[in-house]
A and B are shown apart, each in its own frame.
Chain A
Amino acid sequence: MNASQFDGSAAFYGGGFMAPSANPTPEQSFFPSKNRDIQTLLPLTVKQISNAIAGENGKSEFSIDGVDVTTVKIVGIVQENVGRITEVTFTLDDGTGRVECNRWCQDQTDTAEMEGISNGMYVRVHGRLKSFQGKKFVQVFSIRAVDDFNEIASHFIECMYVHFYSSLPKPQVGVGVTAQPHMTIPPNQLPGQYSLDGQWSTEEKVLQVLSLPSYLSCVQGAHINDIARQLKISVHDVMYAVKNLEGESKVYSTIDDSHFKSTANG
């Protein structure tokens, strides 16, 4: 690799900011225990960060709304900006609270980016949420001055949207849940679809029944009459939902047209 060229994946790797694409093998050897599925960029308020709890399954340090948090996006005002030779530290105040940030300046690109930043300026920060001796801070990968101030309202609206989406009941399908994106795709385009009031759709309910261990483990799966009885809905509704799920390759018929099984874990 030519060292004089700026290499995005090398500059940002370790933060999950960019997926390493060119040469994944050596990158994995650096962080063998990190799970790349959870490295989504989450828009958050400082208040949410201060309320973050310890990660649930050891994959990340923090969890917010049941979502593992590593890389975060915050928009706020820079305060107490202190530049040193290899590191810049500052406090970011987004109006909901203040969080300490630090930015390592290893090469010209980093230094140039930090030189444009001063106290009182609105910035958008991308970085990794970390803690040291119980104190949370953000290790900044990218900092940009906000020049269109609609971005402030837009950021906080995005925070609310992502919180709303993450707080919906999660389908217990077993696969693919943590890998779903949290910001770019409107929920009505996701295969596991919820109605906006947070209720399960019939398809989700049927899928939940089919995900019960007793049905996953047996060869023939579940009879549609059994599903209808458990969900207290009509056989016709179950049939309709099952056809939709079959179309999405989430279930398949087994011994006859009345028995179905989930494609997850099976």
Chain B
Amino acid sequence: MDTSNPSVFVNAELLRLYVGRQVRAVIQVVQSDPGIVIGKSTDDIQLIVKGTPPFPLTKFVEVIGIADSDKSIQASIWNNFGDSIDMHAYNQLCQLANGEFKHLFI
């Protein structure tokens, strides 16, 4: 068992609290260029994801990587989440996982 390097559920607002640490965020892809993907976070704020996904992205994508600023993530893992995801539920999860129930996650 190893819990030393969790990836924290974040939206754009929470991202700034974890700069330099591993995070995971679901984004709605807005624009995908080589080396850089621009997307909207679950709280509807623009995020920059650095890195090149190894496959074509669906509308919603989970990225896991290091938060390198309060608006950007250096992605190491990309997971296609398909074309319909309940972004509101995911955003609520981000807030609960960093609030009242933080001890279950990090």
- Bound Cα distance A85, B47 (Å): 45
B50 touches A (CB below 8 Å): no
Knowing A98-B1, A160-B96, the reply to whether A153 touches B89 (Cβ < 8 A) is yes
Per the bound structure, the CA–CA distance linking A100 and B62 in Å amounts to: 23
Q: Find A47's partner among B3, B89, B90, B92 (CB 8 Å cutoff).
A: B3
Chain A residues, Cβ within 8 Å of B93: 153, 156-157
A150 within 8 A of B: yes
Q: Render B74-86 as a binary contact track against A, CB cut-off 8 A, 1 for contact.
A: 0001010110011
The CA of A160 and the CA of B92, in the complex, are separated in Å by 12
Bound together, the chains give a CA A105 to CA B85 distance in angstroms of 34
Interchain nearest-CB distance for A163 vs B (Å)? 6
- Considering residues B1, B9, B77, which has the most beta carbons from chain A within 10 angstroms of its beta carbon? B1
With CB as the reference atom, state the residue of chain A lying closest to B7.
A95
Is the CB–CB distance between B96 and A47 below 8 Å? no
Q: Within 8 Å CB of A163, what residues of B? A: 101, 104
A46 to B24, CA, bound (A): 16
Query: Nearest-CB distance from B82 to chain A (Å)?
Result: 6
B57 at the interface (CB under 8 A from A): no
Question: What residues of chain A lie closer than 8 Å to B77, measured between beta carbons?
Answer: 77, 120
Whether B33 sits at the interface, judged by CB under 8 Å, is no
A50 touches B97 (CB 8 A): no
**In whole angstroms, what is the CA distance A136 to B8 when docked?**
23
B interface: dominant SS: mixed
Q: How many residues of B contact A (CB 8 A)?
A: 28
* B105/A150 in contact, CB under 8 A: no
Q: How far is the CA of A99 from the CA of B3 in the complex (A)?
A: 9
In chain A between 124 and 158, which residues have their CB closer than 8 angstroms to a CB of chain B? 135-136, 148-150, 153-154, 156-157
A122 to B85 Cα, complex, angstroms: 15
Query: B58: shortest Cβ distance to chain A, in Å?
Result: 10
Count contacts on A: residues with CB < 8 A to the other chain: 28
Give 1 or 0 for each of A91-107: 1 = CB within 8 Å of chain B CB: 00001111110000000
The distance from the CB of B87 to the nearest CB of chain A, in whole angstroms, is 10
Q: By CB atoms of chain B within 10 A, which of A50, A96, A99 has the most?
A: A96
A48 at the interface (CB under 8 A from B): yes
Whether, in the assembled complex, A159 has its beta carbon less than 8 Å from a beta carbon of chain B, the answer is yes
| 1/0 contact string of B1-28 vs chain A (CB within 8 Å) | 1110011110000000000000010000
Residues of A contacting B82 in the complex (Cβ-Cβ under 8 angstroms): 148-149
Q: Which residues of A contact B96 (CB under 8 A)?
A: 157, 160
The answer to the question of A49 belonging to the interface, with a C-beta cut-off of 8 Å to chain B, is yes
Q: Which residues of B contact A46 (CB under 8 A)?
A: 1, 3
Question: Which of A45, A47, A149, A164 interacts with B81 by CB under 8 Å?
Answer: A149
A-B pairs with beta carbons under 8 Å apart, 13 shown: A45-B105, A46-B1, A47-B104, A47-B106, A96-B6, A97-B1, A99-B1, A120-B79, A136-B1, A149-B62, A149-B79, A157-B93, A157-B96
- Since A96-B104, A149-B85 are in contact, a sample of 19 more A-B pairs with Cβ atoms closer than 8 Å, ordered by chain A residue number, is A47-B6, A47-B105, A50-B1, A77-B77, A96-B3, A96-B105, A97-B1, A97-B3, A99-B1, A149-B79, A150-B86, A153-B90, A153-B93, A154-B89, A157-B93, A157-B96, A160-B96, A163-B104, A164-B101
Ranked 7 nearest A-B pairs via Cβ: A97-B3, A149-B81, A160-B101, A95-B7, A98-B2, A153-B93, A50-B3
